[in-house]
Chains A and B, each alone.
Chain A
Amino acid sequence: MTAEIAKAEKNPEILLPSEAAGWKWDGKEERHDPKTLFAYMDGAAELYLAYGFTRLAVRRFEKPGRPAVTVELYELASSDDAYGVFTYERQDEPAGIGQDSEFGGGMLRFWKGRYLAAVYAEGEGNDVESALLAIGRAAADAIPKTGSEPRWIAFIPGREHGLVDRSVRFLRSHVLLNQRFFVAHRNILNLNRHTEALLAQYVRNGQTTHFLLIRYPDGKAAEAAYRGFMKAYLPDAGGKDRWKTEDRLWTLAEKKNELVLIVFGAPTETDAEALVKATVEKLDK
């Protein structure tokens, strides 16, 4: 088996729909790889590259007198990565398409398997919104396989701790982390393609707390990251794993095997401990 055939079997072509809700494909398909993605989008390409982007297919759908609809189908390195790109930007209500989706601001986004899709129109209208959903469903149906979510999600404390719905994000770089929760302008937690970071948001008594779970390739890497974080972020903790910061809220960091767990902005020391403890208990089971 040649490498090309093996690659093709591993990454089969997804045949996007050619028509839905009266909108017809114009017959052209624009394709991009990691080298040409910058030419397609200004500024956002690095988001997809951080998640192991491999290729993009773009189709445009038209209906006389109505705004055109564009479908972008991104193939990422894994289903974890597709989940990551999706959750990185998730903010709107789900639409029940693919493995998870959101619809708002004239854009439908969903992920399925190792694919992330964006469907949007160049104008507004109720029929346009219906078309976005119909075309999106057809595109999701064209993707034959589903994929798993990052396994570490199972260890994130749940609603009983105030987990905000749809707030969990899977992040591959410190830049992406900073764009959702600024920690430090330098990469003090050593995040990269080989680490898995989950950021979750909790609200208790009106106070927002962030919880960060990072898995490193091994315990040694986790230890180095933990030390780097403590030195840069909590230098005044005096060797303790926690500190009441300038906002009068608690930051707590703990290393466990290849994981680093950090709570930011807990109202009390006990609240911070509770999130870490809940995670550790799940891990120990």
Chain B
Amino acid sequence: MEDTVITRRDFLRVAAGTAVAATLGGAVIEETRAEATARVVLIRHPAVVGDEGKIRGEILQSMLDEAVKTLLGTGDPSEGWRMLIRNTDIVGIKSNSWGRMPTPRELEAAIKRRVLDAGVAERNTDIDDRGVLTNPVFLKATALINVRPLRTHHWSGVGTCLKNYIMFVPNPSDYHADGCSPLGKIWTYPVVKGKTRLNILSALTPQFYGRGAHFFDRRYVWPYKGLIVGTDPVAVDAVGAHLLQTKRIAHFGEDRMLDVPPAHIAAADKDYRIGVSDLRRIRLIKSGWLEEALI
């Protein structure tokens, strides 16, 4: 598939109903592989974000707990968290500190609370973004929880969980080629490989279109009031990208596909075998408030 060129016409074929399938911008879906599927939970609550944009931490905590319980099929959230985290783990919570739209502090706190509840010592857990390569907890981490806001991104199409690990390499710009398609490679490096227990996309107030020097414009942020949660980062990202794509079409009309096809999501699946990018093989479990869920 090295020489395959995805053109506008591939999308036109989808629109015309003549393509076999293409669920993601940039993802050429070959024959459906039977071996792998993924589960992703979308949970929403109408009151988690107030009129002033204030996040209600107690509702967010319950959403996160419910998502973990649903994702892992456990009887109660604490059982689910104990499946994810052992009390002997050293846990790095990889967040995102982008100034215009950082990971909400309430969400970071909700995650940390459950990590501590699982019996992890306070000294063995930390939250970081740009300092992960020098943070002792992250350097010794046996477990990672990956959390960041969902947004469009100038160079990778979408800013989602796969992209959130770019701070684990000293040379981030080396991963920007071809819609950031090499991002999946980072997940194969020892600093993170096999350590990620949970991926959380904050879709509380996602950004569906970017503009300006910092690619941020408050007109294109909307109160979706959701979390997208899964153990498979590729599947979580595929669902997040699908949501942004759907929102853009709803807002702008027919001709606003994602600026950059998020090729890194398909590449993480096909080239690096990190997870499932084909929406047909992702079981999306929706929970809570469903009004204008879009997906």
Contacts and interface: CB of A to CB of B under 8 A. Distances in A.
A175 B159 CA distance: 16
B76 interface: no
- Interface of A: prevailing SS: mixed
A246 B172 contact: no
A284 interface: no
A195 to B, nearest CB: 18
B5 A184 contact: yes
B257 interface: yes
B34 to A, nearest CB: 27
Interface stretch (A102-110, A135-143, A216-224): A102-110
B255 interface: yes
Interface in A183-200: 183-186, 188
B7 A120 contact: no
Interface string B1-33: 000011111011101101000000110000000
A44 B215 contact: yes
A68 interface: no
Given A42-B98, A208-B255, A246-B15, A232 B214 contact: no
B219 interface: yes
Contacts of A182: 8, 11, 25, 257, 261
B213 interface: yes
B123 interface: no
B7 A178 contact: no
B217 A38 contact: no
B265 to A, nearest CB: 13
A47 interface: yes
Contacts of A175: 155, 179, 260
Interface residues of B, number: 39
Contacts of B261: 178, 182, 185
Contacts of B260: 175, 178-179
A128 interface: no
Contact of B12 (A104, A180, A246): A246
Nearest to A188: B5
B41 interface: no
B160 to A, nearest CB: 12
B156 A179 contact: no
B211 A184 contact: no
Size class of A's contact patch? Answer: 35 or more
Which of A74, A109, A233, A247 lies at the interface centre, i.e. has the most chain B CB atoms within 10 A of its CB? A247
B211 A183 contact: no
B214 A44 contact: yes
Residue in A43, A208, A264 whose Cβ sees the most chain B Cβ within 10 Å:
A43
Contacts of B26: 185
Interface in A107-124: 107, 109, 118, 120
Secondary structure dominating the interface of B: loop
A233 B7 contact: yes
Contacts of B218: 105-106
B213 A118 contact: yes
Contact of A46 (B7, B155, B214, B259): B155
A245 B13 CA distance: 9
Nearest to B7: A184
Interface in B165-181: 172-173, 176, 178-179
Contact of A186 (B5, B11, B12, B255): B5
Contacts of B8: 182-184, 233, 264
Nearest to A46: B155
A156 B7 CA distance: 24
A80 interface: no
- Report the 4 A-B pairs with minimum CB-CB distance, sorted nearest first: A179-B259, A246-B12, A184-B7, A246-B16
Interface of B: 5-9, 11-13, 15-16, 18, 25-26, 98, 153-156, 159, 172-173, 176, 178-179, 210-215, 217-219, 255, 257, 259-261, 263
Given A41-B213, A175-B260, A232-B7, 18 more contacts: A44-B212, A45-B173, A46-B173, A47-B154, A106-B218, A107-B212, A120-B212, A182-B25, A182-B261, A184-B5, A184-B8, A185-B178, A185-B179, A185-B261, A185-B263, A186-B5, A233-B7, A247-B15
